[in-house]
Structure 1
Amino acid sequence: MIRPSALLVALVAGVTSALLFAGLVVESATAIGLALVAPMPIVIASLGWGSVAGFAAAALAGLTIAALFGDAASGLSIIATIALPAAVAGHFCGLARPAAAQPANDMPSPRLDWYPLPGILFAVIASVTLGCLFYGWLADFDPAALNDALSDALRQQAGMQAELTDAQLQQLSQLVVRLVPFAQPALLVLVHVVNLYVGAAVTRASGRLPRPKDDVPASAGLPWIAIVLLAVAALLCLEGGLIGAVAAAVAGALTAGFTLVGLAAMHRRTRGRAGRGLVLFAAYAAILLLTFPILVFTVIGIMETARVRRAGKRH
């Protein structure tokens, strides 16, 4: 049974998240920044007032959007891509069990083993992937039809201003259509992880976060099975069509996760070293300006995951 205070928090969090997300529904370019923080109220509700409050806030966010725009599909879209992954992340952060070895002296509360960060990140990746696949089904995503429509749009926009052949326009539209299923989950994983990190800091500052502060650079990671899933998804991306789109969504979410693991490894390995600030600044600046250095950190993240797997086998 949810407490009245938690129910009130869930109500406020759900409505706030919906209002932050509403700009995307009406396709307002100025509201994109607000939409990026739409998961945070739900994360705070889940971390500070329990998983039930988080899932209730997620449901209320969807109901609010559906009521505002009179469109159930819009409500389901925020639940699938924003609200539910945020609630899932908060739920896994709150999972704990008594530690196997407790201190000998009587303490007012037992020591707890909290759900590890690699499992939390994997849960975020899985929920985002499933949410994007559901949203694609809800929007009736058809790669072939979208490719034809995009080709026509590009052809009309190019007009007489560009000397692009029909074959070149077709290739460009195919590239864009293949990138969309990859890019959307990748961006959402990043958005949810950042909101979870900031939301945890806010909840901890208020004194309502029972989970102790994690050493993120030292404990970030992914289960080794994520490497296998990424390899399989990368191969299936070559199929094209619906199978390729589904595989691209899985690959995009996992790639973002491994990139975050690689960035965490950089933070850990540069601790206590001279020029650390310059190294971090240069790395993030290169990512923002050039984009392709992301792949370097993706590879580092995969190597870190494989290294932890090998170390676990030795022990």
Structure 2
Amino acid sequence: MKNANSLLVGILAGAASALMLFAAHRSGLGAVVLLAFAPVAIYIAAMGWGTLAGIAGALAASAAVLMFSSPASAAAAAALIFAPAAWVGHLSNLGQPGSDGKTMVWYPLSGILFRLMLATFAAFILTGYLAGYGEDSVVPAFVALMQEFSSANPSVPVPPEADMIDRARFYTKIIPVVVPATWLLINVLMAHLSSSIVRRSGLMARPRDDIAASLTLPLEAVGFLVAGLIGMMILPPAGRLASGVALGVGIAGFGVVGLAELHLRTRGRDARGFMLFATYALIVMFSVPFLLFTVTGLWRTVTRNRPPANNGGTA
């Protein structure tokens, strides 16, 4: 009976996620908001009703997209939206009894964030491959779009075609960095929101984590930044695109850790609310300040993974 209930909840969650995705496709300016909330139903199902519900939700949502779209679109939606939500929900429920036999030791947040970074990287590589993303296809399309916009708005000055091509090439290089980074941040936010909903409903066994104090990343995550930076400098175009995805995922992942450090350092301060509001407002408006938190997150990760100093004691 419990499995049947989990399956039903998962299927309903998958249907809700698919409907949200379809609505985003037809919503113009509101598409970003709907797309951001598309995985929430699967997050809630997986966190509240278990792994079976998460898997059922991801499969049901993918099947719904496949029914009304192409196999490539269904694969991209599954990789970007549905599967990561089910996986994170599964990981959040993993736990085992502690050494005292009374307390539970839950899967660490560092592992969950790192695996979400891996999933995001793999999903964007797959999606880029399926879409044929590359300079040869994107640059002409972008130039045509700018020319169409100029034709529809005669009062807007038309830049020379060479300038449009240069601008299109720049966007082709920056999009693989910015979009995966943004999507990872959205997923972190939606996972946090979903866990809060499930916990308040009394459906989540995992207690509330002290994110500000405990969040970090394994040292292996530094590879995203290193590989991304080096790859964008020395690899051919296709390799640079993959490197851009790695760099974007690394920037976002370590940035989240850096923001956790900010929340920890401002605890107990009278102006904490204003400091947090001002920080997030600057990030939303200008984006560049987020890089400071990427550096902070990298520092926090390295220092917390540093082996304890040997004070001269004997084994």
TM-score, normalisation: structure 2: 0.91
**What is the alpha-carbon distance in structure 2 between the residues aligned to residue 240 and residue 216 of structure 1?**
39
Structure 2 equivalent of residue 151 of structure 1: 143
**What is the alpha-carbon distance in structure 2 between the residues aligned to residue 70 and residue 177 of structure 1?**
26
Q: Pick one of 302, 305, 308 that aligns with 1:309.
A: 305
Cα gap change, 1:240/1:294 in structure 2, threshold over 3 Å: closer, same or farther? farther
Q: Pick one of 99, 124, 138 that aligns with 1:132.
A: 124
Per-residue deviation at 1:262? Answer: 0.8
Structure 1 position 288 matched with structure 2 position 284? yes
Structure 2 equivalent of residue 170 of structure 1: 165
Q: Pick one of 116, 127, 134 that aligns with 1:142.
A: 134
Structure 2 equivalent of residue 84 of structure 1: 83
Structure 1 equivalent of residue 21 of structure 2: 21
Report the secondary structure of 1:209's partner residue. Answer: coil
Q: Which amino acid aligns with 1:250?
A: A
Report the secondary structure of 1:314's partner residue. Answer: coil
Q: Which amino acid aligns with 1:125?
A: M
TM-score, normalisation: structure 1: 0.91
1:67-106 aligned within 5 A = 67=67, 69-99=68-98, 101-102=99-100
Deviates more, 1:244-253 or 1:24-33: 24-33
**What is the alpha-carbon distance in structure 1 between the residues aligned to residue 20 and residue 145 of structure 2?**
30
Structure 2 equivalent of residue 118 of structure 1: 110
Cα gap change, 1:73/1:228 in structure 2, threshold over 3 Å: closer, same or farther? closer
Structure 1 equivalent of residue 6 of structure 2: 6
Q: Pick one of 266, 269, 273 that aligns with 2:269.
A: 273
Unaligned runs of 5+ residues in structure 2 are: 311-315
Could you give the per-residue CA deviations for residues 269-312 of structure 1, whole angstroms, max 9, x where no partner exists?
Answer: 111123112211211121122221111111111111111122x3
Cα gap change, 1:308/1:77 in structure 2, threshold over 3 Å: closer, same or farther? same
Structure 2 equivalent of residue 207 of structure 1: 202
Q: Pick one of 252, 257, 274 that aligns with 1:256.
A: 252
Cα gap change, 1:143/1:200 in structure 2, threshold over 3 Å: closer, same or farther? same
Q: Which amino acid aligns with 1:18?
A: A
Q: Which amino acid aligns with 1:242?
A: A
**What is the alpha-carbon distance in structure 1 between the residues aligned to residue 243 and residue 2 of structure 2?**
39
**What is the alpha-carbon distance in structure 2 between the residues aligned to residue 121 and residue 145 of structure 1?**
33
**What is the alpha-carbon distance in structure 1 between the residues aligned to residue 289 and residue 69 of structure 2?**
43
Structure 1 position 228 matched with structure 2 position 223? yes
Contact 1:17 1:61 in 2 (8 A): yes
Contact 2:24 2:30 in 1 (8 A): no
Structure 1 position 299 matched with structure 2 position 295? yes
**What is the alpha-carbon distance in structure 2 between the residues aligned to residue 11 and residue 171 of structure 1?**
46
- Percent identical among aligned pairs is 32
Contact 2:213 2:264 in 1 (8 A): yes
Q: Pick one of 178, 181, 206 that aligns with 1:183.
A: 178
Per-residue deviation at 1:185? Answer: 1.1
Contact 2:95 2:105 in 1 (8 A): yes
Q: CA RMSD in A?
A: 2.0
Q: Which amino acid aligns with 2:166?
A: Q
Q: Which amino acid aligns with 1:8?
A: L
Q: Which amino acid aligns with 1:233?
A: G
**What is the alpha-carbon distance in structure 2 between the residues aligned to residue 157 and residue 9 of structure 1?**
45
Q: Which amino acid aligns with 1:144?
A: D
**What is the alpha-carbon distance in structure 1 between the residues aligned to residue 4 and residue 149 of structure 2?**
55
Unaligned runs of 5+ residues in structure 1 are: 104-109
